[in-house]
A and B are shown apart, each in its own frame.
Chain A
């Protein structure tokens, strides 16, 4: 086990810089998730930790040692790939024992360590089969097993669940978390799926265009996003943003069509300033008191059974709401909503930075 320290790391292909100075600390035993839209550089960063991509600038340390120019095999890491990268011509046991065989371990030791890993992953019955005889979830587990067997300092995961169907993904998510809880190996996990990030991470690193937008615990990111990008990326359905201006009392904002949106406490921002008012869909509720409410013109209703998702407009601006009630209204009708002011977020209208 070891900490991973990434300091001001850069990656350039010719003149094009894809990673523009990233610093991330992964504490010993932590489960850190790198998340962001495709092309944000999260996979490149992971591959730089693995040693599969050269580091243009900055340093990466594993367990205190600078590993910039160390060969992948000498970094004491294990990586799980999106397509599992199992050797198709080897049995599951051979796949899992491959690294130990290369390390010239004795036959008995390989067998016992493979058997241990197989027990943890429930693969004992499949050891003599070939990868193509297994299902996607089982292959995923073999890839995990290949990593566990080595007992490395750091686990690296590159979108490991993307090739699985939705149901299996949820199941494997829980299994991965459970395995990490048991063996507590430092883990860096890359995904584009914010739900995976939220549910598995001790700490999330949100990336965009080669820079880190925000680092924090999942719920901190959810409750206090530093800008509109993080605010809209974390959470599903994503946060609503309404363009408004600060009112004279500095306790609410008003849309162009005159709808007043309160935000509880007093802000230091000057009245009249254009801001982006953010509110999550689940913080909109149906107004019980009649009259006083925010009118939403309903465009689409999606009942899921447990909840109802409603899309529509407030003062001509697109908004979605996540309601507990079942609704029996038609599109085009007006729904009166209230919002919880303490759950609102204010962002600068031009830069998107949290105010």
Chain B
């Protein structure tokens, strides 16, 4: 058959046979079953991940006797707020939360500010010396914190900032990963022409940073803020050695007090932990969109 003949031949409409129809039904059913299996698997995984959290909150409302009962109950039979009143009354829990909050917020502000400036400079002003400095920045991430924890402690001591928020902040002002994250974002999402256009339009370098670069980095900076906040919020080793007075503890250090070498006061620990969860969950809910966007934006166009 010539090409013309093949092109001219009308494609006749043929009804699918019963066999073909049955095959279609079979394939569709298989697809549905696969999807169902995936859904069930994901639901089980989610439950497994949520369960410890649910028990933590539930335990906070249980009496000591019920806490040790078998099988464990999810909804307390005899709910009590004794644990909460004990924790809030006998320990300066709110003070610790306040310390943690101040520490985490200040650390976040410092890290976001330093990462934004350094990331932008490293991303857009590419000289050989800059590359060397950037490599040095990255190299600091390789050194484990425990290695320089003690020297840093002596530094804090000689500065006279032990047992204060400033002492806590000493190791949490700059985050090399944050600089890296912002640099990658700058390279990826801010074209040179945008900065050049602004320069021709008459903008100074600082104006460009403030009015063009920062607004475009909103997503990445939001993600970094969440990371930085939780890094400080969950910090343990450094706060423990810097804060030695009961009133200067962060919440993480304070929680550890409920476990001594010999006993664990489960009820109070649960109540305190449940209280501590509230600010972190709140923050995540507020910044969730930024967080997901920032993490996803590294692989997407526009």
**Which residues of chain A have C-beta atoms less than 8 A from B90's C-beta?**
none
B284 at the interface (CB under 8 A from A): no
Query: Known contacts A88-B216, A102-B207; is A81 also within 8 Å of B201 by CB?
Result: no
**Which residues of chain B have C-beta atoms less than 8 A from A146's C-beta?**
197, 201
B299 at the interface (CB under 8 A from A): no
Selected contact of B197 from candidates A71, A85, A132, CB within 8 Å: A85
Selected contact of A79 from candidates B197, B202, B203, CB within 8 Å: B197
Selected contact of A73 from candidates B193, B194, B203, CB within 8 Å: B203
A85 and B194 contacting across the interface, CB-CB below 8 Å: yes
**Which residues of chain A have C-beta atoms less than 8 A from B71's C-beta?**
none
Query: Known contacts A81-B196, A83-B191, A83-B193; is A73 also within 8 Å of B216 by CB?
Result: no
Digitize B191-234: 1 where CB-to-A-CB distance is under 8 Å, 0 elsewhere. 10110111111110001000010011000000000000000000
A102 to B207, CA, bound (A): 9
Selected contact of A102 from candidates B191, B194, B202, CB within 8 Å: B202
- Output the least CB separation between B188 and chain A (Å): 14
B200 and A87 contacting across the interface, CB-CB below 8 Å: no
Tell me the A residues contacting B by CB distance below 8 Å: 50-52, 71-73, 77-79, 81-83, 85, 87-89, 98-99, 102-103, 132, 146, 150
What are 28 pairs between A and B in contact, CB < 8 Å? A52-B200, A71-B199, A72-B200, A73-B202, A77-B200, A79-B196, A79-B197, A79-B200, A81-B193, A81-B196, A82-B193, A85-B191, A85-B194, A85-B196, A85-B197, A87-B194, A88-B216, A89-B216, A98-B198, A98-B201, A98-B203, A102-B202, A102-B203, A102-B207, A132-B302, A146-B197, A146-B201, A150-B201
**Which residues of chain B have C-beta atoms less than 8 A from A88's C-beta?**
216
Residue of B nearest to A71 (CB): B199
A73 and B199 contacting across the interface, CB-CB below 8 Å: yes
A102 and B196 contacting across the interface, CB-CB below 8 Å: no
- Output the least CB separation between B222 and chain A (Å): 14
A85 to B216, CA, bound (A): 13
A103 to B207, CA, bound (A): 13
Residue of B nearest to A150 (CB): B201
**Which residues of chain B have C-beta atoms less than 8 A from A52's C-beta?**
196, 199-200
Taking A73-B200, A73-B203, A102-B201 as given, write out 5 further A-B residue pairs in contact, using a Cβ cutoff of 8 Å, ordered by the A residue number.
Answer: A50-B200, A72-B199, A73-B199, A73-B201, A83-B191
A146 to B202, CA, bound (A): 13
**Which residues of chain A have C-beta atoms less than 8 A from B207's C-beta?**
102
A219 to B298, CA, bound (A): 49
- Output the least CB separation between B89 and chain A (Å): 50
- Output the least CB separation between A146 and chain B (Å): 8
- Output the least CB separation between B125 and chain A (Å): 14
**Which residues of chain A have C-beta atoms less than 8 A from B202's C-beta?**
73, 99, 102-103
**Which residues of chain A have C-beta atoms less than 8 A from B197's C-beta?**
79, 81, 85, 87, 146
Query: Closest 4 CB pairs between A and B?
Result: A85-B193, A99-B201, A73-B202, A85-B197
A87 and B203 contacting across the interface, CB-CB below 8 Å: no
**Which residues of chain B have C-beta atoms less than 8 A from A81's C-beta?**
193, 196-197
- Output the least CB separation between A292 and chain B (Å): 38
**Which residues of chain B have C-beta atoms less than 8 A from A87's C-beta?**
194, 197-198, 212
